[in-house]
Structure 1
Amino acid sequence: MGNRVFVVGVGMTKFEKPGAREWDYPDMAREAGTKALEDAGIDYRQVEQAYVGYVYGESTSGQRAVYELGLTGIPIVNVNNNCSTGSTALYLATQAVKSGQADCTLALGFEKMQAGSLGTIYDDREQPMMRHLLALAELQEFAMPPAPYMFGAAGKEHMERYGTTEEQFAKIGVKNHKHSLNNPYAQFQDEYTLEEILASKRIYGPLTKLQCSPTSDGSGAVIVASEAFVDKHGLADQAVEIVGQAMVTDMESTFADRSAISLVGADMTRVAARKVYEQAGISATDVDVIELHDCFSTNELLTYEALGLCPEGDGGKLVDAGATTYGGQWVVNPSGGLISKGHPLGATGLAQCSELTWQLRGTADARQVSAAATTSGVALQHNIGLGGAVVVTAYRPANR
């Protein structure tokens, strides 16, 4: 079964528009890492292993980043898993503790990005997304840039298959921008009407600019610890237990389904969620608060269904019912999500973990989801990267 695993410290920087702040990735890592260590009330010398995630950077940037916290000779592993990089670092840090190899680990992620749409660096070799893009081009006419094309195409397919409307996707943008008003870490803190979301620049399919996550700079960090470490240092009152976690990569169905929805990872999410619910002994109805990967509004709606919040095809009905905001059955992306909080690829999964830890502790201030701050609170995290990997994690307060 393995050992029990807990999050005992979290920290993150404010997410910023690339170039808006005079800092480099070591500065980001120092800020987020120091906050996480201070939150846990421990010294860096107590950390036994570190997993450091980033997508854009030179080899061993992970070492350079963590050296801002100390030089203790511990194993430092550089992690790159596209947009799920941060949660992959968390997954590895958790595995090290769960297996008994370490009592205290650090998962840290950062990104220093270029402004504008994501591009490629190495043009002399096969692109990792090429198989996905070629498969999608057989279904819908190819367009650039690739990311909004893929998720926009999945949205179009959902509209054609289930009658989902552009307004339903746009309402997700309205919700997440509104949620970010109360998040001091968010890149954007602006509220928009449905009409403004729909009237913003058309990107692809149902997607407009205000339904797309921006490029961002920033960092997040999480301290993971064993039950023995929690007991020794008296951290039970602030610890959050990881009660389920699964990582899934592309399966045969990704391509065999001949579906844009499968190509952007819905099946990966569905399988990972089932594993996590089984591990945690919960169902989707037990969850109070969710941070999920809304790189585009279309993906948030697809993820509702893949996580089992509603039957396949009913995501639009969930939006119209207000089921995924304050006053609804779940609060999804109280942080503002990727659309409004920002999306520095290596940091996103760790920022999600930070938000859910604050929610379960009852320290999320104006964003607080009241049901999450009880002894029965349950939080769910979903982070996906195409090409492809998804990590789903369930959390509960340690003192439950």
Structure 2
Amino acid sequence: MSQDVHVVGVGMIPFTKPGANQPYPQMAAHATNAALKDAGIGYELVQQAYVGYVYGDSTAGQRALYEVGMTGIPVVNVNNNCSTGSTALFLARQAVASGAADCVLALGFEHMSPGALGAVFNDRPSPFDHFEQITDELVGNEQVPLALRYFGGAGLAHMQQYGTQMSTFAKIRAKASRHASNNPVALFRTVVTEDEVMAAPVMWPGVMTRLMACPPTCGAAAAIICSPRFAERHGLDRSVRIKAQAMTTDRAITFESRDMREVVGFSMAQEAAQKVYDAAGVGPQDIDVVELHDCFAHNELISYEALGLCPVGGAEKFVVDGDNTYGGKVVTNPSGGLLSKGHPLGATGLAQCTELVQQLRGTADKRQVEGARLALQHNLGLGGACVVTLYERV
């Protein structure tokens, strides 16, 4: 059994730097209440909830939702690294599509600490032990934080194979800042130029400056997912539906290829995108707007190719020609992306959902992509999982 799935309500709070945020229950409650208000329903109509976060204790999802209401519904806690928010969305969509529920909440939040990401449990095998081993072998530079070595190493592999210039990553970051300047909930709204990105403090000589990396961020975002009959019964906005969605995890190529682009999920993203295109009967040329996982400018460039937005090896030309922004082939990250909006891990996928639903409704104000009908979301978590979602304006 399968039925259409509509996104009838979205909400998020402005993302902040660690230390400037409210505690996670308050952040999550504000985002949930915003999504309920946007949908025009009360929490008592929600039948299930999938709540995502990475850094938090067990059942923090219940604690967060107790601030909204205590209605006895199933609450499932979700952790899939940086793809946590879209994994919660994936599960919510499945529940509605299968007929198991008519109205479901997907919620994501993160209360992060300053500085680079690190392990919490050091007395057991790390989920990243294979990733660390191959990265040590291919990249070295153990004095550089691991996430930078992952994605910087992937960017370096592209530079070495195709002659891609470091300035191209700076162009991507500058584009993100221009988009974010029109987003009232973005963390960084100051426009920076390519030259300013290149002049920022160096994190990896010849590969990355500080402005090419997203900041640790706190925040929350949520979406209300429902069936057509529920939407009709309650008079809800059915203008946006999830047309197709796929989740993939790593295959052997991740490590066997000995290519840092594969280590950070190139084929995982490529496979998820192709499944979505096949299920929807469309191609990348049909997409109007994209929110993709730009945790580093390097990953945005690699993701253009993985998602089929340009040919493999053609990402630098895609950027230089301006095909990744307004007036080009497809507007990527109109929100400003993770680079400017911020990246609270559990909330990121649902913040992407919020932006794309607003785009398809035509309510994105100065960020609006005119005539947007198909919107693609790409959310990646190393360790690994990738979720690609296609939204359609009905």
TM-score range, shorter-chain basis? over 0.9
Distance in 2 between residues matched to 1:10 and 1:139, nearest whole Å:
41
Structure 1 contact 174–197 (Cα < 8 Å) conserved: yes
**Superposition CA RMSD, Å:** 1.0
Structure 2 contact 187–340 (Cα < 8 Å) conserved: yes
The amino acid that maps onto 1:300 is: E
1:2 and 2:11 aligned: no
The amino acid that maps onto 2:240 is: V
Tell me by how many angstroms 1:234 deviates.
2.0
Match of 2:69 in 1: 70
Tell me by how many angstroms 1:217 deviates.
0.7
Bigger mean CA deviation after superposition, 59-68 or 200-209: 200-209
Distance in 2 between residues matched to 1:230 and 1:90, nearest whole Å:
18
Structure 1 contact 207–296 (Cα < 8 Å) conserved: no
Distance in 2 between residues matched to 1:48 and 1:325, nearest whole Å:
39
Distance in 2 between residues matched to 1:129 and 1:122, nearest whole Å:
12
Distance in 2 between residues matched to 1:130 and 1:265, nearest whole Å:
16
- Deviation string 1:342-394 (CA, Å, 9 cap, x unpaired) is 0000000000000000000000011111121xxxx100000000000000000
1:253 and 2:253 aligned: yes
1:388 and 2:384 aligned: yes
Structure 1 alignment gaps of length 5 or more: none
TM-score (normalizing by structure 2): 0.98
Tell me by how many angstroms 1:397 deviates.
1.4
1:91 and 2:90 aligned: yes
Distance in 2 between residues matched to 1:162 and 1:221, nearest whole Å:
39
Distance in 1 between residues matched to 2:226 and 2:239, nearest whole Å:
9
1:165 and 2:161 aligned: no
Provide the secondary structure at the position in 2 that maps to 1:338: helix
Distance in 1 between residues matched to 2:16 and 2:184, nearest whole Å:
11
Match of 2:353 in 1: 353
TM-score (normalizing by structure 1): 0.97
1:179 and 2:175 aligned: no
- Give percent identity, aligned residues only: 56
1:271-310 matches, within 5 Å, as 271-310=271-310
Structure 2 contact 139–149 (Cα < 8 Å) conserved: no
Aligned length: 392
Tell me by how many angstroms 1:235 deviates.
2.0
Distance in 2 between residues matched to 1:106 and 1:239, nearest whole Å:
18
Distance in 2 between residues matched to 1:289 and 1:315, nearest whole Å:
17
Structure 1 contact 4–241 (Cα < 8 Å) conserved: yes
Match of 2:235 in 1: 234
Tell me by how many angstroms 1:42 deviates.
0.6
Tell me by how many angstroms 1:233 deviates.
1.6
Distance in 1 between residues matched to 2:256 and 2:390, nearest whole Å:
29
Match of 1:200 in 2: 200
The amino acid that maps onto 2:128 is: M
- Deviation string 1:14-57 (CA, Å, 9 cap, x unpaired) is 00011124x10011011100000010001101101000000011
Structure 1 contact 243–394 (Cα < 8 Å) conserved: yes
Match of 1:225 in 2: 226
Provide the secondary structure at the position in 1 that maps to 2:181: helix
Structure 1 contact 111–347 (Cα < 8 Å) conserved: yes
The amino acid that maps onto 1:54 is: Y
Consecutive aligned runs of 4 or more in structure 1 exceeding 2 Å deviation: none
Structure 2 contact 7–224 (Cα < 8 Å) conserved: yes
Structure 2 alignment gaps of length 5 or more: none
Distance in 2 between residues matched to 1:53 and 1:154, nearest whole Å:
27
Tell me by how many angstroms 1:246 deviates.
0.2
Distance in 2 between residues matched to 1:182 and 1:10, nearest whole Å:
19
The amino acid that maps onto 1:97 is: V
Structure 1 contact 230–239 (Cα < 8 Å) conserved: no
Distance in 1 between residues matched to 2:288 and 2:239, nearest whole Å:
18
Distance in 2 between residues matched to 1:78 and 1:378, nearest whole Å:
30
Bigger mean CA deviation after superposition, 151-160 or 198-207: 198-207
Match of 1:149 in 2: 149
Tell me by how many angstroms 1:136 deviates.
1.9
